[in-house]
Structure 1
């Protein structure tokens, strides 16, 4: 486990970066001609990023990025 101290500006920047990356992953996932292994890797990466994101964001903001909402077969 690694600890991390951030000021408010750094926290907002990290939230922004995580949201943009998750948005890009959802966009890439919806590309039709993608191999299933790549889609699986995208889902796994999304879940890792979401787990980090939910440590910073409030519950209302997290609702927009729940993996089940964006990837129907994620548990």
Structure 2
């Protein structure tokens, strides 16, 4: 495990970058033209980025990015 210390401003910026990445991946996952393998790779990366975001985000913000597993992860 790797530890990092951030100032308050850096933590907010880190959260912003992660949110933008999550938004971009959700947009890509909504594109029905992508094949199954590509969607699976994006979904796996989404899980990793979401876990990172969960460490810095308030619960109210985090709930916006939770994906529903019962429907193939689609929101």
Same fold (TM over 0.5): yes
1:8 and 1:33 map into 2 onto residues whose CA distance is: 40
1:48 and 1:67 map into 2 onto residues whose CA distance is: 13
Aligned residues: 73
1:16 alignment counterpart: 16
- Could you list the structure 1 runs, at least 4 aligned residues long, displaced by more than 6 angstroms after superposition: none
2:52 alignment counterpart: 52
- TM-score, normalised by the number of residues in structure 1: 0.89
Q: Which segments of 5 or more consecutive residues in structure 2 lack a partner in the other structure?
A: none
2:2 and 2:52 map into 1 onto residues whose CA distance is: 12
1:8 and 1:72 map into 2 onto residues whose CA distance is: 37
Q: 2:17 matched to 1:43?
A: no
Q: Which segments of 5 or more consecutive residues in structure 1 lack a partner in the other structure?
A: none
